[in-house]
Amino acid sequence: MVKQLGFVFNIDLCIGCKTCEVACRNENHTDGTVRWRKVTKQDNGSFLSLSCNHCSSPECFRVCPEHAFTKRMDGIVEIHSERCSGCGLCITACPYEAPQFDRMTHKVSKCQMCHSRIDQGLQPACVEACPTEALALKDLNTFCYVNGLETTLGFPDTRLTNPSIVFLPEKERKRYFLK
C-alpha cells in the first residue's frame, strides 16, 4: 500500500505559541519573509498551524510549466528549486498559500515536510518542537481517527486538492464563572 504522509492538527491542544514556526525557520534557514508554517488566530479564539498540505492532487504540481514539483512515494510534494523559474503560477494556484516567493533566490520555495529528517527516521522539525503535541505526522492511509474533520474554520475548500491534513475537532468546553 502506498503511504500518504500528512499532518494531524489538534485544534484543542494548540496554544498559539508559534514554536512550530520558529522550528521550521531554524531547520530550513529561511528568512523572516518566507514562512512555510504559519500560526494564525481564528475569529473564535482558536489557532491554526498550517504549512503545505502535501495534497493528493496538488495544484502547484498541475500548473508548474517547469515541472519543478514532484510527489514522492510517501506522498510528500517536493519542489526542485533548480527547475523553478520563479513565475509564481504555483503561488496563485495553491488555495492554502503554501508556496512562497523567496526574494533572495528569486524562486519559489515551500515546506518539504523535512523529508531529509523523515528519511533518517526523525519527525519534521515543527512536529518535534510542538510543546503541546498539537501537531503530529501520520500515514493518513492507515491512521484511524474518530471525529476527525477534513476542514475547519479558516481553512479553504478541500474538494479540488484533497489536502493531506486531518483536523481533530474542537471540543465543547465547560465554562465556569464566579457569581
Q: Which domain holds residue 135?
A: 5-168
Is residue 146 scored above 70 in pLDDT? no
Task: Provide CB contacts within 8 A for 28, sequence distance 6+.
Answer: 36, 114, 125
Residue 167 to residues 23, 49, 67: CA-CA distances in angstroms? 21, 10, 30
The grid cell for 34 is 518566507
For 30-76, the pLDDT digits (tens) are 887 899 999 999 888 899 999 999 999 999 999 999 999 999 999 99
Pairing of strands 107-109, 100-102: antiparallel
Residue 154 lies in a domain: yes
pLDDT for 143 equals 87
Task: Provide CB contacts within 8 A for 135, sequence distance 6+.
Answer: 7, 8, 9, 10, 14, 20, 49, 126, 127
Residue 179 lies in a domain: no
Question: Domain count of the chain?
Answer: 1
Tell me the CATH number at 37.
3.30.70.20
Report which of residues 153 and 46 the model is more confident about. Answer: 46
